[in-house]
Structures are given as C-alpha cells and as structure tokens.
Amino acid sequence: MKKIYNSLIVVFLLAGLLSCTKDLTRPPIGLLTVNEINSNPTKAELVSSVNSSYQLLASTLNVVGHWNWSGGTVFRNDIILQDIASNDMLKKWHPDGDQAWMDKIGNFTFTSQNPAFNGIWVYDYEGISRTNLAINSLTNSKVVQMTGMTDVLKNRLLGEVYFLRAFYYFDLVNNFGGVPLILSPPQSFTEAFKDVVRVPADTVWSQINSDLSKARTLLPKVKYPDLSAKWRVSIGAVISLQAKVALYNKHWAKVISLISELDGYGFYSLNSNYFDSFDADKKFTDQEVIFAYDHTSNQIPNNNNGLRFVSGWGFFAPTANFIKAFEPNDPRLAYTIDTIRKFSPKIIGSTTTLIDYGDKVYIRYADVLLWKAEALNELGDYSAAIAIINQIRTRARNTPTDDGSVVPAGTLPDRGSSTDKAQIMGWIMHERRVELGFESQRFNDLKRWGTAKTFLTALGINFQGRNYLYPIPQGEVDKSGGVLLQNPGY
C-alpha cells in the first residue's frame, strides 16, 4: 500500500477527476482511492494528514500546482471573488493586461471559463479530499488503535477536520450554490465519477451543520486546544462558524444564542487597537482573532504569506468608492488601503516593515459582534444593536493613526438612538464595510443582503441577477459530459 500521509499531498481534485464519459475506465489523474491508502499509518502520519487539511486555507503561493495563472491556482482566490467583485478593490490602479481575468471579475464580464472559479473550486475540493481521508482514518477504530493514539488526541483531531470540511463547503455553497457533496474517499474510480452530481444547496447547508455539530462535541472547551500549536481549530471557531451559518440562513435567534454561548467562555474581546489582529508580533496574544491560518517563514515546504509578494508586484489597490466610504479621520482607512498591511505587516513605531509571515485572519470577534448586531436589529432590539455598532466605533476612534498620533476629537461619533430598522441596518452595512475591509467578506455580504445588484449597477458595473451565484468552472462541466450541471445564465 502507498504511504500517503507523510507526503501531505492527498489528491481528490475535481479539476483533475473527470475525463469524458468514454474514458471512465481511465484512472483520474491524481486521485487516491481508499484502496491506495496506507493500511499501517503511524500516529505522526495521522497528525500530518490533519495538518495538511489546513493547507488549502493558506495564502502561500503555489500550494496547488506551480505558477498556474491560467488555472487560477497561484494563490487562494478569496480576495478576487470577494474584495474585487464587491468593488472594494481593483486589480492594480490601472489595468495593464496582466492577469486580465481578475479585472473581468471586478467588472462582471467574466465567463464560466474564468480561472478564478477553477482556482477556488480546486482549493476547496482539495481541502475536502484531505479532510475526508483524515476522517476516514480517525473514525476507524482499528487504525487508531494501531497507532497508539489516545482518545483525547483522536477526538481533537477529528473535531478539527470536521470543522475544516464544513468551512470548505461553506465557501463552495456561497460561491456556487448546490455542489457535489463528497463525504468519504471513493472506494474505486467508478465510484469517484458518481460523486460529481450536484446536490441542492439546502443539502450542503445541512451537511455543514452536521459537521459543525460533530466538531463541537469533540473539541475541548478551551481557547487553545494545543498550546504548542495555537493556530488549530478551537471550540470558539466552531461556535463562531455555527453562528455565521445561522446568519446566512436568517436564523436570527440562533445567531444570538450561539454568540451568547461563545461569550460565556470569556475567550474573546475587542483588542484596544484595531490593527492588533493583524500585527504579526502580536498573534496568539491578541484577544480578537478566533480562526486564522498560521503563516510562518523559513519552512519546507513553504508556509509564508504569498499575498505580500503579489502586492509587491503591484496587484490590489482600493477603489475610489471604497475610500469614500470611510468617515473623516477614521484610522481604519490607512490601516486597510495599504493592502500589504493586512497581509503581512509588522508595525515598528510609525513605520511598516513588510514581512512574509502575517496570518490570514478568517474569523475575528469584531465580525462576530456585527453578526449579533444584525440579528438583534432583525428581531427589533434596536438599542442593543446600536450599542454594538458604537462599541466597534469606539474601538476604532481610540486606535492611534498609522503614524502613532491621536485621532482628532469628534471622529466617529456614536450613532444616536433610533427605532428605524432600515436606518440601523444601513449603519451595520457601513460598519461592516469599513471594519472588515479587504478581509474577503464584502461580496458575500452584498449577496446575502440582496443588495449586490442595486449597489454595483449604481456604480456602472454590469452585474446581473445570475451573478448572485458564480458559474461552475466550465472545464468541470465539460469533463463530466454534462453530468455536472451549470448554474442558470452561464
């Protein structure tokens, strides 16, 4: 049997999975079936298989493939599909033809062959493949017993990969709607081909909830389950993603209940300084980051934050509309529009040194608080919603500017009392945009609010109703011989 865990390369890419129907007897390139998995793994190999499941969340360049710009896999494409698509960010100040497919995402002139869609599809399904292989082994009592792994370690690792699988499917269902639901390594190549049938989005959401529920029962009720690796999935990350799933499905009371449970642990609060969540010297000492990918330097294989290099090549610039959204003297503007800062910053006095090990932050407490404000507003508790908005604004105005000076008096005044639900929602929308700028949240927000078409067409962008879902990568549709159905309008 092949030993695959220590290689950290376990492949079940739908991008390479399918050939034409007439080629069903030909093994898909890179696919490992259960029959090829090592039957005698060690404990270290099982841990490595779990660790490899995180890797597809990295901003490291070339995690999948090697400089495959045409396949959209040089880096993870969240920043393109969220920040560029929402008109917060441009691919360079002035389009110059370099990777023009990114510009087409921003102006909605893309086709289903755009590399951005293939890239995110590949990253998410590669992540799902790795979690499935880890789950398959960790739920096999004979395999676990063979390694000498304790139940405590097994449960923790299993909780991590259930969370990660839910995280990857959360991304897929928001980008594409219903997708193939693959929950175990295929027993054979024939079985693998059957997995490409799309299931309804509701079925994907149900599976996400199921995985998160399992993860929650398995993870210890501590802030850091492994003090030697604080980047690992925690109970706080699980509850937070459960709350986000509830938010996206408009289960307002559940959002509030879950966040109240999270607060009951006392693990998280707003940092006193807005930028501490991104300062590489303060990671794992700040109080706000709930889940982030841990980039580090000088590792083999490479594990740095490659977006720092992409930014250095001139990619990514704020739009005029995004800059205009900030109120006068809001210090968050300077900390955001220099895009390198949120990717790989190190603040030394009043200067910024560029480094390559800044973490990719996926969930932080300010985001969670704004979910709660939104749910409270929907349920008519207007004063509590406004109090959260003002909590976020207070922290922002108390943050020194990027040069270390004090923010002028009168900056970001508190929102006043109101019982106008629409007005308060407008405040929440504004606060989310400026607080979470360039954190790959914005386009999903516009879509779930139902405001994407109104907002983007007002800016002269060719957004159509079909664009609330991205197209399935056309290459995947073609390879399936039509089994994988395309989204309407594409």
Q: Each residue of 370-425: pLDDT tens digit?
A: 999 999 999 999 999 999 999 999 999 999 998 889 999 999 999 999 999 999 99
Task: Tell me what the pLDDT averaged over the chain comes to.
Answer: 90
Task: Assess whether 333 and 460 both reside in one domain.
Answer: yes
pLDDT above 80 (res 36): no
CATH at 41:
1.25.40.390
Task: Assess whether 85 and 176 both reside in one domain.
Answer: yes
Evaluate whether residue 10 is within a structural domain.
yes
Evaluate whether residue 74 is within a structural domain.
yes
User: Could you report the per-residue pLDDT of 150-188, keeping only the tens digit for each?
Assistant: 999 999 999 999 999 999 999 999 999 999 999 999 876
Neighbours of 489 (CB within 10 A): 12
Cis peptide before 301 (omega within 30 of 0): yes
pLDDT band, very low/low/confident/very high, at 92 (cuts 50, 70, 90): confident
Task: Assess whether 233 and 141 both reside in one domain.
Answer: no
Evaluate whether residue 478 is within a structural domain.
no
The number of distinct structural domains making up the chain is 2
Evaluate whether residue 277 is within a structural domain.
yes
User: Could you report the per-residue pLDDT of 192-234, keeping only the tens digit for each?
Assistant: 667 789 999 999 999 999 999 999 999 999 999 999 999 999 9
Evaluate whether residue 442 is within a structural domain.
yes
User: Could you report the per-residue pLDDT of 94-131, keeping only the tens digit for each?
Assistant: 878 899 999 999 999 999 999 999 999 999 999 999 99
Residue 449 structure tokens: 């609010």
Evaluate whether residue 470 is within a structural domain.
no
Task: Assess whether 455 and 380 both reside in one domain.
Answer: yes
Evaluate whether residue 310 is within a structural domain.
yes
**Range 277-303 average pLDDT:** 93
Task: Assess whether 189 and 226 both reside in one domain.
Answer: no
Q: Give the domain extent around 428.
A: 221-464
Query: Helix 151-176 crosses helix 201-218 at what angle (to 10 degrees)?
Result: 160
Q: Is-contact 296 304, C-beta < 8 A?
A: yes
Task: Assess whether 145 and 246 both reside in one domain.
Answer: no
Q: Cα–Cα distance between 480 and 71 in angstroms, integer?
A: 18
Name the residue with higher pLDDT: 7 or 124.
124
- Cα separation of the two ends of the chain: 43
User: Could you report the per-residue pLDDT of 423-460, keeping only the tens digit for each?
Assistant: 999 999 999 999 999 999 999 999 999 999 999 999 99
Neighbours of 19 (CB within 10 A): 17
Task: Assess whether 195 and 250 both reside in one domain.
Answer: no
pLDDT above 60 (res 20): no
Q: Is-contact 311 343, C-beta < 8 A?
A: yes
Task: Assess whether 35 and 139 both reside in one domain.
Answer: yes
* Model pLDDT, residue 21: 32
3-state helix, strand, coil in the chain (%, to 5): 50, 5, 45
φ and ψ at residue 347, rounded to 5 degrees: -85, 125
Task: Assess whether 181 and 246 both reside in one domain.
Answer: no
Task: Assess whether 148 and 265 both reside in one domain.
Answer: no
* Model pLDDT, residue 402: 85
Q: Find where tokens 């642990």 sit.
A: 265
Task: Assess whether 324 and 348 both reside in one domain.
Answer: yes
Task: Assess whether 227 and 203 both reside in one domain.
Answer: no
Q: What does the radius of gyration of the chain's CA atoms come to, in whole angstroms? A: 22
* Model pLDDT, residue 340: 66
Q: Which of 28-42, 270-284, 315-329 has the lowest mean pLDDT?
A: 28-42
Beta-ladder partners of 89? 318
pLDDT above 80 (res 74): yes
Evaluate whether residue 91 is within a structural domain.
yes
Q: Which of 247-251, 417-421, 460-464, 478-482 has the lowest mean pLDDT?
A: 478-482
Give the dihedral of Cα atoms 193, 196, 202, 205; nearest 10 deg: 80
